[in-house]
Amino acid sequence: MTSRPSKPRSFQEIILRLQSYWAAQGCAMMQPYDMEVGAGTFHPATTLRSLGNRPWAAAYVQPSRRPTDGRYGENPNRLQHYYQYQVLIKPSPPDLQELYLGSLAAIGIDMELHDIRFVEDDWESPTLGAWGLGWEVWCDGMEVSQFTYFQQVGGHDCHPVSGELTYGLERLAMYVLGIDHVMDMPFNDPDAPIPLSYGDVFRQTEEEYSRWNFDVANTDVFLRHFEEAEAECEAILSQDHHDPKTAKRIVMAHPAYDQCIKASHIFNLLDARGVISVTERQAYIGRVRALAKQCADAFVLTEAGGYAGS
């Protein structure tokens, strides 16, 4: 474990190393979910798959959006669009901490030179009705990952318990590569014929989205979208489990959950636009949570959710 790994040279090399490390540990290499989400946890491969009794192991990169964190590409650390690397293993293996430390070694963190610490940080997602216990992992005083044992998701107790690892990729990569401003970070290999920095890829989009998020997004339209997503989610879940066309039992947990994701993201956008007052805020969070809970209720009635027939 203490062999000195070579230093990665770019953002993408760190992602590739994590991919091959977790693939070697037997995780299914999932792809990002094709919707706007605030964090990797929202991917159904985490939220829904942490429910029910079926074993599961997956890892993936998830582009994540937090409209309020937009800084027009100027802040060295803050972005409204960034990447998370997410690992979910159910049931959590007894050596998950060692596996995690192995992943840090794989991306070039030398355990003999750095100070790695597990510092109490209980995770809670009010919008997902989920919580777990674990730590933020510190490397030389910097939080490099979130490490959580899920106890409840969508209001359901987790049996067995999933272990979840979330890496903030930009921050971790900046640390490993010794970069001070995210936009200066090499995206591909610096010696490639066409070397690209993170800024080459994302500076312009950060600017465009920051302007749109904060000042332009049509709030009336989004308020309506929120209502529509909420209504659609509930409409989907109110369908009979028996599909009259195929005569099969089809519970539409995933399509409904898509609408929950949509509502959650629209709420984040509206929040960034400052049109949600402090008191309303709680109410909106409660509405998204109610959707997440109904989706969880539906998922546990599906095969993937451990449903074994009535």
Partner 1 sequence: MPNLLIELFSEEIPARMQARAAQDLQKRMTDGLVEAGLTYGGAKAFSTPRRLTLAIEDLLAASPTLREERKGPRVDAPEKAIEGFLRGAGLTRDQLEQRDTPKGAIYFASIEKPGRPAAAIVAEVLEDTIRNFPWPKSMRWGAGSLRWVRPLHSILCILSTEEGAETVPFEIDGITAGNTTRGHRFMGAEPFAVTGFDDYAAKLKRAHVILDAGEREGHILQEAQNRAFAAGFELVEDRGLLAEVAGLVEWPVVLMGEIGEDFLALPPEVLQTSMKEHQKFFSVRNPKTGRIERFITVANIETPDHGATILAGNQKVLAARLSDAKFFWENDLRTIREKGLEGMAAGLSDVTFHNKLGSQADRIKRIEALAREIAPMVGAKPDLAAEAARVAKADLQSEMVGEFPELQGLMGRYYAEAAGHDDGVPEACEEHYKPLGPGDAVPTNPVSVAVALADKIDTLTGFWAIDEKPTGSKDPYALRRAALGVIRLVLGNGVRFGLEAIMKSAFGPQPADWIIQSAKSSQAHTKADAALGIDESGLVFDEKQVVILDLLAFLHDRLKVHLRDEGIRHDVIDACLVMEGNDDLTLLVKRAEALADFLKTDDGDNLLQGFKRANNILTQAEENDGVEYSFGADVKFADTPEEKTLFTALDTAEPEIASAMQAEDFAAAMAAMARLRAPTDAFFEAVQVNAGNEVLRRNRLNLLSRIRTLCLSVADLTRIQG
Rule CB under 8 A: choose which of 5, 32, 63, 91 binds partner 1. 91
Helix%, strand%, coil% for the chain, nearest 5: 40, 20, 40
Assess 151 for contact with partner 1 (CB under 8 A): yes
Residue 103 tokens read as 């992943």
Chain positions 24 to 43 lying near partner 1, rule: CB under 8 A, are none
Contact 123, 131 (CB under 8 A): yes
Nearer to partner 1, 279 or 310 (CB): 279
Number of residues binding to partner 1, judged by CB under 8 A: 38
- The distance of closest approach from Cβ of residue 271 to partner 1 in the complex, given in angstroms and rounded to an integer, is 14
CA nearest to 163, candidates 149, 175, 173: 149
- In the stretch 158-197, what mask flags binding to partner 1 with x, by CB under 8 A? xxxx-x-----------x----x-----------------
DSSP β-bridge partners for residue 136: 119, 146
Q: What are the C-alpha distances in Å from 215 to residues 7, 175, 276?
A: 41, 33, 14
Rule CB under 8 A: choose which of 279, 308, 309, 310 binds partner 1. 279
Rule CB under 8 A: choose which of 115, 191, 215, 240 binds partner 1. 115
Nearer to partner 1, 129 or 294 (CB): 129
Rule CB under 8 A: choose which of 10, 41, 64, 92 binds partner 1. 92
CA nearest to 266, candidates 46, 67, 47: 67
State the helix-helix crossing angle for 253-272 and 219-237, rounded to 10 degrees: 160
- The distance of closest approach from Cβ of residue 279 to partner 1 in the complex, given in angstroms and rounded to an integer, is 6
Q: Is the dihedral of CA 12, 62, 80, 141 positive or negative?
A: negative
Assess 7 for contact with partner 1 (CB under 8 A): no
CA–CA distance, 193 with 120 (Å, rounded to integer)? 45
DSSP-derived 3-state class of residue 34? coil
- The distance of closest approach from Cβ of residue 37 to partner 1 in the complex, given in angstroms and rounded to an integer, is 25
Q: Which residues bind to partner 1, rule: CB under 8 A?
A: 76-77, 91-94, 97, 111-120, 122, 132-135, 139-142, 149, 151, 158-161, 163, 175, 180, 277-279
